[in-house]
Amino acid sequence: MTLDLFSSAEQQPMTVSQLTGHIKAALESAFESVLVTGEISNFKKHSPSGHAYFSLKDDAATLSAVMWRSRINQLFFSPQDGMKVIARGKITVYPPRGNYQIDVVSLQPAGVGELQIAFEKLKQKLYEEGLFDDEHKKPLPKFPSGIGIVTSETGAAIRDIVTVIKRRFPAVELILCPVRVQGSGAAEEIAQGIRDMNRYGKVDVIITGRGGGSLEDLWPFNEEIVARAIFDSVIPVISAVGHEVDYSIADLVADMRAPTPSAAAEIVVPDRREMLEIFNEFAYTIYCRVYELVREKRETIRHLLKSYSFNRPYDLLRGFSQNVDELDRRLKSTMTHRLDITSAHVTSLHHRLESLNPEQVLNRGYAIVYDGKKIMQSKDETLQRGKGNIRFKDGRVGFIVRKET
């Protein structure tokens, strides 16, 4: 795309804002959708806006990036410096600074290896804090009257747990807190579900988990927010993530680890033979009807969100929000600079006062002549007094004036 900005016979100067506006229009129309891979650096969430500012870099270049709070909350993992990621978004220009940046719509790890690195870092951090220590493990009740289950209401995990428990110990009451166990926002929902069960207080043990899947699918159980919710739970927690070989962070923090949801149900109750029928098919039918209705409404909303009239106010609001963040940074920088100047001035005055201190004069080999407490300032005054004392840096000596004959 080429902008003919100087086609008039007599070139007219533009303001910086006008030129930046032309550049902004050109870049944003030419790069409306880009897919970029790079390494995260300087990742920081700005408070209180919640927006994330960071850079994507490779061996030869660095690209500024911004991700708005609503999109950050949709990530299934926590971005970290040094993690290689794939970012999808559009190129925008921030006029107050004249910088171009990528407005990130979605972010995902560049590969399983990046998630594994994040897993090891968090594992080491929580280990050093003592979250895995056996002394914190709470014993499971032998005969629970109520069991809280934090998992998906439609996944295989809840069906397996209910089936096994009702076959082994049908008298127990099961309380389900339905949450997402995969994708964006799942970790927050799982952690909140555990906290809600503790507030409810009418269960003796909590099972949280899901069926098997890839490392990305299971990642919510490797997030710090879930680990701390499990550690803070007053009620014993069984982690039942369907991956029999590998351990998750939730497994290491939980009071008991079960390799599968079915195994958790085997652990939590004593053996009984009878089973009770549950209304899975009825719940599934309701879910399908609701899901179809939600899907139709979601499509309608998606079309509205793509319209220009809907997005223009959001673009303005985001620009203002980023401008507020910039002003906040400039204010803090200015205050710090002023404090440094004031401190340097005070230090200079202190040094000047020290240089005027009589003690400093004595240290350079001079002496002060006193008559009692009064300083004598001339030869005639000294001869008139006839006696006095002389102060050196290491003490005083008395003297008597003797006239020369």
**Phi-psi sector, 241: left (phi>0), alpha (psi -120 to 50), beta:** beta
What's the pLDDT at 105? 86
- Joined together, the tokens standing for residue 110 give 């560049």
User: What residues have CB less than 8 Å from 274, skipping those under 6 apart?
Assistant: 166, 167, 170
- Joined together, the tokens standing for residue 136 give 């914190």
What's the pLDDT at 13? 85
Give tens-digit pLDDT for 17-63. 888 788 888 877 778 888 888 888 888 888 788 888 888 887 888 88
What's the pLDDT at 361? 74
Instruction: Mention the CATH class of domain 116-136+143-291.
Output: alpha beta
Buried b (16+ CB within 10 A) or exposed e, 340-363: eeeeeeeeeeeeeeeeeeeeeeee
Is-contact 148 175, C-beta < 8 A? yes
Give tens-digit pLDDT for 318-361. 878 888 888 888 889 889 989 989 998 988 888 888 777 777 77
pTM for this model (two decimals): 0.50
Q: Enumerate the H helices of 107-185 as residue ranges.
A: 112-129, 156-168
User: What residues have CB less than 8 Å from 225, skipping those under 6 apart?
Assistant: 187, 188, 191
Instruction: Put the strands of the sheet holding 395-400 in their side by side order.
Output: 374-375, 368-371, 387-392, 395-400
In a 3-state reduction of DSSP, which class is residue 400?
strand
Query: What DSSP designation does 110 have?
Result: S
Q: At which residue do the structure tokens 């400039």 appear? A: 330
Mean pLDDT per segment of 10 residues, for the chain of length 405 residues? 50 80 79 83 83 85 86 76 83 83 83 73 88 93 92 92 90 93 87 96 94 81 92 95 77 93 91 54 80 86 74 75 87 90 89 76 78 79 79 78 68
Is-contact 85 77, C-beta < 8 A? no
Domain map of the chain by residue range? Answer: 16-110, 116-136+143-291, 359-400
Return the CATH number of 16-110, one of 3.30.1330.60, 3.30.450.70, 2.40.37.10, 2.40.50.140.
2.40.50.140
Is-contact 224 194, C-beta < 8 A? no
Amino acid at position 138, single letter? K
Listed in order, strand segments (DSSP E) in 250-315 are: 256-258
